C-alpha cells in the first residue's frame, strides 16, 4: 500500500474539507501530488498527526533530510520552494531548532501577549469607531476593514516595521500563501521578500527602537558566536549539533528568515482566526446567544473557531529521517516529504464526534485541536492570536449587536486561494446601528 496513485491536491483550497475527509478515510498516510509534480504523504487523522508532530524521526530540515532538495531534483524554481528554503525555527531540526527558536520565544509568551492587551483594546476601539461612522445599513467587508487591520497594526508595530513598508509587505505575504501562483511569480515574490527584508534590517540598524526586529538585530550583531551558526547554512550539510550550539548567534540569513516567519505567520493566523470567529457567530445566531447568556465564553468561541477552520489548513513540509511505519500496511520511506492536515484533524469524528463539521461553542472537545501545532513546533504566536481574536470579536458584537451577514454573504463565501492558509477572502456584513459603549 506504499505507492497507490497520488491524489492531486487542489491548489486553490476550494475543496479543502472534502479533500481532507477523503484522505482521512483512506489510510494513515496517503500519497498526494503537490504543484510542480512533487509527491508527498498527507497525514489527516488527529491521532496520527499528534504522534508525528513529536516524533524524532520527523524533520523539517530539507537541507539535511530531503534527498530531492539536497540533490537539486527540486530547487528554487519549485513554486513552494520558499517554504523549505528559508532557514529559521520552523524548518529546523534537533539542536538547531532550539538555537533558532530561543531568540524569538521571549516575544511570544502568554505573559507578554497579555501585556499587549491595552494596546489591542485601543486599536480595536479605534477600528470600531471608524466602522461606526459608516452608514449603518451599507455592506462592509469586515476582513478588509477590521480583521485585517488589527493584526497589521499589532504585529507590524511589534516588529517596528515602518508604515511605508506595510502595503508592499501585505502584497508579498498574500503571494507567499497563494499556492495557485506560477513558479515565475513565486520566484519574483521570494526575491521581493528578501529585498524588503534587507531594507527593513538596514533601516532598523540605522534607527533601532523598542521592537522585536531591533532586539533580534542586537542579539545577532552583539551576541556570542560567529556567522557559521547554522548546521544547514551554505550547502546544508551537517547534523543538529555541528556548529549549531545553543550559544551560536543567528546568521544574517537566519535573522531575515526568522523575521519572515514571525510576522507573516503572526499576521495571517490572526486575520484568518478573527474572520472565522465573526463569520461563524454571524451565521449561527443561536451560538452567539449562548455567549451573550453567559453559557459560553469568548475564549470558547476562539477555540471552536480554531478547531473548525484552522488558520493554516496544511503544514508543510516534514521529512522522514528513517522509515516510519504508520500502521495498516503503510510505511513512509526515509527521505519522503510529509504534510499534515490541520483542517482534517479539527473535524476528525474520532475526537470531535459525528457532528464535528458543526460550530458549537459548548463542544467539550473544542480545545482539543492541533490548529496551532503541537510539541516543539507549537506556534509561538498562539497566545497573541487568541487574545486578538477574543478582544476583537467581543468588542465587535458589543458595539454592533444587530450586525448581520449582508445578502452577498449568506451563501458560501470565497476563500483565499491557498491550500496552506485557510481563511475568508471577504466577509460582507451589515453593521446596523452602533451601540454606545462606555469605557
pLDDT above 90 for 164: no
Q: How far is CA 101 from CA 92, 291, 380, 415, 431, in A?
A: 9, 37, 9, 31, 42
pLDDT (0 to 100) of residue 439:
53
Q: How far apart are CA 375 and CA 318, in angstroms?
A: 14
How many percent of the chain have pLDDT more than 90? 61
Average pLDDT for residues 76-93, to the nearest whole number?
90
- Once rounded to an integer, what is the mean pLDDT over residues 361-390? 92
CATH of residue 97: 1.10.630.10
Quote the pLDDT of residue 107: 59
Residue 1 lies in a domain: no
Residue 358 · residue 95 · CB < 8 Å: no
Residue 438 inside a domain? The answer is no
Asked whether residue 355 is domain-assigned, the answer is yes
Q: Is 184 helix (H, G, I), strand (E, B) or coil?
A: helix
What's the mean pLDDT in 279-284? 97
Q: Which of 257-266, 276-285, 415-424 has the lowest mean pLDDT?
A: 257-266
Residue 437 lies in a domain: no
Confirm whether 298 is domain-assigned.
yes
- Band (pLDDT 50/70/90 cuts) for residue 128 is very high
pLDDT at res. 380? 84
Sign of the dihedral defined by the CA atoms of residues 347, 351, 354, 359, in that order: negative
- With cut-offs at 50, 70 and 90, classify the pLDDT of residue 271: very high
Q: CA distances (Å), 367 to each of 108, 306, 347, 348, in order?
A: 20, 9, 13, 14
Q: What is the pLDDT of residues 10-24, one digit of tens each?
A: 999 988 999 999 999
Please give the Cα distance from 184 to 190 (Å, whole number).
10
CA distance 271 to 81: 24
pLDDT-derived band at 183 (thresholds 50, 70, 90) equals: confident
Mean pLDDT is lowest, of 84-93, 145-154, 248-257, for 248-257
For 372-428, the DSSP string reads T--GGG--TTHHHHHHHHHHHHHHHHHH-TT-EE-GGGSSPPPB-S-SSB--BS--E
State the pairing for strand pair 7-8/30-33.
parallel
Which pLDDT tens digit goes with each residue over 196-249?
888 999 999 999 988 888 888 887 887 644 343 333 333 333 333 333 344 467
**Average pLDDT estimate for 170-192:** 86
- 179 assigned to some structural domain: yes
User: In percent, how much of the chain has pLDDT > 70?
Assistant: 92
Higher-confidence residue: 142 or 111?
142
Using DSSP's 3-state secondary structure scheme, residue 314 falls into strand
Cα dist from 316 to 25, 43, 91, 104, 190, whole Å: 20, 11, 9, 21, 17
Place of cell 531548532: 97
5-37 as b/e: b if 16+ CB within 10 A: eeeebebebeebbebbbebbebbbbbbbebbee
Assigned domain for 436 exists? no
Q: Give whole-number Cα distances, 309 to 25, 79, 237, 304, 389, in Å.
A: 19, 25, 38, 8, 14
Q: What angle do CA 31, 35, 41 make, to 5 degrees?
A: 20
- Number of domains making up the chain: 1
The mean per-residue pLDDT over the stretch 337-358 comes to: 97
- For residue 179, how many C-alpha atoms fall within 13 Å in the half-sphere facing its CB? 24
Q: What is the mean pLDDT of residues 278-282?
A: 98
In 3D, which of 405, 309, 389 has the Cα closest to residue 357? Answer: 309
Respond yes or no on whether the N-terminal peptide bond of residue 425 is cis (omega within 30° of 0): no
Task: Specify the higher pLDDT residue, 191 or 4.
Answer: 191
Structural domain span for residue 325: 7-430
Asked if the structure places residue 310 within a domain, the reply is: yes
Q: What is the DSSP string of 142-154?
A: HIIIIITHHHHHH
Q: How far is CA 297 from CA 150, 290, 400, in A?
A: 21, 9, 18
Amino acid at each position: 500500500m506504499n505507492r497507490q496513485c497520488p491524489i492531486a491536491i487542489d491548489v486553490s483550497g476550494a475543496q479543502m474539507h472534502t479533500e481532507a475527509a477523503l484522505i482521512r478515510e483512506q489510510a494513515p498516510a496517503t500519497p498526494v501530488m503537490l504543484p510542480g509534480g512533487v509527491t508527498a504523504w498527507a497525514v489527516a487523522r488527529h491521532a496520527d498527526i499528534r504522534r508525528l508532530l513529536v516524533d524524532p524521526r520527523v524533520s523539517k530540515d530539507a537541507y539535511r533530510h530531503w534527498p530531492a532538495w539536497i540533490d537539486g531534483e527540486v530547487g528554487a524554481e519549485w513554486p513552494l520552494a520558499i517554504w523549505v528554503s528559508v532557514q529559521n525555527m520552523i524548518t529546523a531540526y534537533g539542536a538547531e531548532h532550539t538555537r533558532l527558536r530561543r531568540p524569538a520565544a521571549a516575544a511570544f509568551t502568554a505573559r507578554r501577549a497579555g501585556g499587549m492587551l491595552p494596546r489591542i483594546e485601543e486599536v480595536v476601539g479605534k477600528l470600531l469607531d471608524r466602522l461606526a461612522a459608516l452608514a449603518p445599513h451599507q455592506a462592509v467587508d469586515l476582513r478588509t476593514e477590521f480583521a485585517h487591520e488589527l493584526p497589521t497594526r499589532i504585529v507590524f508595530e511589534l516588529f517596528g516595521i515602518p508604515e511605508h513598508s506595510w502595503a508592499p509587505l501585505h502584497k508579498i505575504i498574500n503571494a507567499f500563501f497563494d499556492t495557485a501562483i506560477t513558479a515565475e511569480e513565486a520566484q519574483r515574490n521570494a526575491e521581493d521578500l528578501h529585498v524588503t527584508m534587507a531594507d527593513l534590517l538596514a533601516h532598523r540598524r540605522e534607527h533601532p527602537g523598542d521592537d522585536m526586529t531591533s532586539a533580534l538585530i542586537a542579539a545577532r550583531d552583539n551576541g556570542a558566536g560567529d556567522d557559521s551558526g547554522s548546521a544547514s547554512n551554505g550547502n546544508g550539510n551537517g547534523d543538529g549539533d555541528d556548529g549549531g550550539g545553543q550559544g551560536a548567534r543567528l546568521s544574517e540569513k537566519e535573522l531575515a528568515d526568522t523575521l519572515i516567519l514571525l510576522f507573516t505567520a503572526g499576521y495571517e493566523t490572526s486575520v484568518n482566526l478573527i474572520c472565522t470567529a465573526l463569520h461563524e457567530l454571524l451565521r449561527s445566531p443561536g451560538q452567539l446567544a449562548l455567549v451573550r447568556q453567559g453559557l459560553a465564553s469568548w475564549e470558547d468561541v476562539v477555540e471552536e473557531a480554531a478547531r473548525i477552520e484552522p488558520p493554516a489548513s496544511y503544514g508543510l513540509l516534514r521529512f522522514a529521517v528513517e522509515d516510519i511505519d504508520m500502521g495498516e500496511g503503510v510505511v513512509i520511506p526515509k527521505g519522503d516529504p510529509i504534510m499534515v492536515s490541520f483542517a482534517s484533524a479539527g473535524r476528525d469524528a474520532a475526537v470531535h464526534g459525528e457532528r464535528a463539521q458543526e460550530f458549537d461553542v459548548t463542544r467539550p472537545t473544542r480545545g482539543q485541536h492541533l490548529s496551532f501545532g503541537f510539541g516543539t513546533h507549537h506556534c509561538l504566536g498562539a497566545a497573541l492570536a487568541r487574545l486578538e481574536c477574543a478582544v476583537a470579536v467581543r468588542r465587535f458584537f458589543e458595539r454592533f449587536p444587530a450586525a448581520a451577514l449582508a445578502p452577498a454573504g449568506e451563501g458560501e463565501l470565497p476563500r483565499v486561494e491557498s491550500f496552506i492558509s485557510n481563511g475568508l477572502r471577504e466577509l460582507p456584513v451589515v453593521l446596523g446601528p452602533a451601540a454606545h459603549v462606555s469605557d
